[in-house]
Structure 1
């Protein structure tokens, strides 16, 4: 059983719940020699710090203490009954987590101390040459160095994650591929939700066929994270490939479902989507919905929420689902806005009320006279503002506006 020195007080954490308490650190002494343990305890008692000291006599006991996670610094002797030298250090480092490690060596083992630092310890002390002030300072500095290492590692991980997210985002959010620029105005926007340290699975695309038909896609993979984002990229690229090779409508939806089923990380993952086809005369469009929200139709008479008949989301009924395209007339100068559900699922105040599709329609009518880019920005900004009491929109938002 671990033995507690007189310097130990109740609890293993600082009063604020943190391990990094420089004046009252939680110190674990791993030392099988009782005389040396008493000496270290006396030195700590006379030092500039007031530690919570726990003494154990073996690696096995040390591992149990470290598993509790309430240790700020480990003082480690390298000669233990169940571990010797750098092998003992390696075992402690593997369990230490955010705890600093200071190695205790004998008078003739200074090279071993240097090797221990090279192997990952924050510092080493030579028994017989340690004074109270030196020991207290070594413990504090070791903890500070460990904290700096932990912060640096977290920063590097964050940078790598940001780079990966940027690569995935480029795949999710492409530039429209228009063969005849000027024939149609396209505005696309994406905003990550406040809860997303990881990219979500919203995706969109716009391409134009050789016959002048403009094809648009917007979709949303359930869940959040790199797997869902990567699946969104796969679906978008597959859709563009299918569209440019002449496979559209229900046929393309069936093929996209096959891609989703083959690539999804778990059977519970599904994807909603809407596809649009606008022939060159722009007098009508074909709409296919697979579990996705409706769309906003802009006409000279105003803005309406259009919800044509559709089918289930991709992946809900693999191989059994059926989808049909619906034709919708387009008055001269009409515009269409498609979006993911993050745009209307945000809160509208301090309570649980959410905007909903009707609330989104009211916002769209309020800003209908704005130019396309300003209209899209206003929709997102207003929904974000309405959700400010809940920290903003929680989910990702993708919007595509065609006119």
Structure 2
């Protein structure tokens, strides 16, 4: 730092402090500093929470969903699924293509009754398509045939809690996709007893309160389907973000008779709403930083008015317009940089505390997750810091130019 800049910084520091009888200026300086700090802190925390919500939902959705699904219209059955799976597996980027059975059923036990989505899980596949299937195949969740001889069923924690079901209990399953005709001509669902072999908790409210897993064979039996008939092919990709490209390639290969959907398409409304909310929150909270910038402007304008005589004396002693300009730019920049630095530190600290100690709990039936997730990205923090510093710097330009254009004689005479 050269001598001229050191002197400019010395003056800027003096002007940041209140002189005797001018305590109001010091108070306004602290208000401006606090405004920048609060704005940056709020921005970092909210953007981290919104990003965390998106990533947490994505992770939990994919724990029980395929990257891409291949289904048919009409009766929703795919006979001879092995050929379709083999064709899907030849598409670039596809890691595995496995069959699945999905049916809307009703679970009943005594006075309790709950609707559920029954998923038939294939056994012995080289590469399971979802995280839940991988955990089942690895033995983390038990779907082995129990000693009772009944088919096994794995229930979401919400279903199990609502129906007071525990491991080893028996539950009746009503299959509405397989209606039976009685002697009097009425239609009733097929009823099959299952034994609960486990309860899972994914953290995804929709899965925990509606999802039930059993073996592929048990599902085919309760629906009276052949061994080569399934409701869809689940495709797992090497890169889940490439689902749209893979879906387009699958549609072209399989033809119009098959309906190909990605996990993003199935949840597009949810993620579009989250993106829009994230943008809206950024714009709303950035207004706090803009208000702080106006406070910086008002602070510098009042300093210029209060120090008019001193500015005139400095210019009459040979200080240049550029030197005066630097003094006030440094003063405003100090407020912006220090406020941004403190706000960044507080924002990062709050994010760490919220994430580590799960301070804020939220209703999962509304937000799909049971706690406030936080994901802090360096690029998000850098963008907020850069925007805050730039706004603070721009706020110094007008009052600094006003100060530099004061004429020494007029400044001293007006005082």
Tell me the TM-score normalized by structure 2: 0.26
The structure whose RCO (Cα within 8 Å, separation 6+) is larger is 2
**Structure richer in helix, relative to its length:** 2
The structure whose Rg is larger is 2
Tell me the TM-score normalized by structure 1: 0.27
